[in-house]
Amino acid sequence: MDDEAARELERRLELLSDPAHQGQDFDAASWFWLFLFGIALPAALIVWGIQL
């Protein structure tokens, strides 16, 4: 990694460590979609793939 990329990475990490730049928490609808597409759907596809 060159010096410019390292400095840019450090700058971005410093910005993200500030709570003002971290954004808000997920709402209930976001948690639902994260669960559906991240856990339930992949699990169903794995079970379906095993059945084939």
Tens-digit pLDDT profile for residues 29-51: 999 999 999 999 999 999 999 99
Question: Binning pLDDT at 50, 70 and 90, where does residue 22 land?
Answer: confident
Q: What's the confidence (pLDDT) of residue 52?
A: 80
**Distance in angstroms (rounded) separating the CA atoms of residues 3 and 17:** 21
Q: What's the confidence (pLDDT) of residue 27?
A: 95
Is there a contact between 21 and 15 (Cβ–Cβ < 8 Å)?
Answer: yes
22: left (phi over 0), alpha (psi -120 to 50) or beta: alpha
CB half-sphere exposure, 19, CA atoms < 13 A: 1
Per 3-state DSSP, what percentage of the chain is helix, strand, and coil (rounded to 5)?
80, 0, 20
